[in-house]
Structure 1
Amino acid sequence: AAQPLLPSVHHSGLRPNQVSETSLYGVPIVSLVIDGKERLCLAQISNTLLKNYSYNEIHNRRVALGITCVQCTPVQLELLRRAGAMPISSRRCGMITKREAERLCKSFLGEHSPPKLPENFAFDVFIPARYNSSRAKCIKCSLCSMYFSPNKFIFHSHRSPEARYLQPDAANFNSWRRHLRLTEKKAADDISHAWEDVKAMFNGGSRKRTLPRPP
């Protein structure tokens, strides 16, 4: 079973390029303050927590979850080298936020059980309680009341004067995660995080999930 996420070290008044250390699943990860946010070294996460997965698996999962890397400047890269997060030979490093790191790791290491949502919680068309597999018919069209799996729903449409339908770019396994969005552009954090957790479920193969042993 996956170990619980440990809280990060909290700092008041984060300074630009401030180097700290946080913990994911009991593994210490170097963090760096970039643009006012504590970001974690993706390469270090890949080489420790996710070392049983390939570069392509991690990259594809990150893209599917909508996680964008911020590339370090040469000065920031040197700070990460000195902190032991990156080897001396490294030439670049992508950084992601603590929340994004938790989502990425959880998608590989966490249990695929329905996320804990607020009582009586439901999306307009997405029904989390029905989402028990990648092909589950968990989306109910508000116009025709038919149920669809997420990847089939994005190709379902109705003609109406006010509707705008954009054809999805590809019918691949992860396509719906990029095209299904919250109707509120500035949704509350608990709603946004719940939606992120839902999208992280059933996201790719059934490889055995293992946690690295702490040194």
Structure 2
Amino acid sequence: PLKPNQVGQVILYGVPIVSLVIDNNERLCLAQISNTLLKNYSYNEIHNRRVALGITCVQCTPVQLEILRRAGAMPISSRRCGMITKREAERLCKSFLGENMPPKLPDNFAFDVTHECAWGCRGNFIPARYNSSRAKCIKCSFCNMYFSPNKFIFHSHRTPDAKYTQPDAANFNSWRRHLKLSDKHPADELVYAWEDVKAMFNGGSRKRALPSA
């Protein structure tokens, strides 16, 4: 039988999350999930998704909060903490992460990317900097300035061999169509990682495109 305020640990998507028994239910600390598994998403995104999924947060008592702090689930400064069931935590994470986690890439990894809008451009897409849809995560290879993906496809340099292509200005999220890996024959792992990164902050479900043969 579960003892009230019993501390445990649940592995969610490979990450250990502290659990606490509240009203005969094992509940997980939403803040800890937000700071680990969902750290690429804003507080508002997580809150809105939780509400949309009909997940209710149970607030901790001061005693429970202290237990969670000691267990390392919460920073000492936290004044409150919402708890959700394991099933709810799985649903919430799955709605953001899909069946698979964001790609595990080396810390300093960057995709070498190219677009052909207007005069075209080439840059380094740095996944570690891509923490919101408007994050300036692409460093232009010509001028070393940083751009968000949406802005980068409207940024170009006229190189001697560049040809002009009319930009597709109508489609706000069209960067996913226009931004390509510079390597014409990338390894499958690279293609998968790129598809996964493009699926982030895309609102819809992630569709993993198979590399065209």
TM-score range, shorter chain: 0.3 to 0.5
- Larger relative contact order (C-alpha < 8 A, sep ≥ 6)? 1
Q: Which one has a bigger Cα radius of gyration?
A: 2
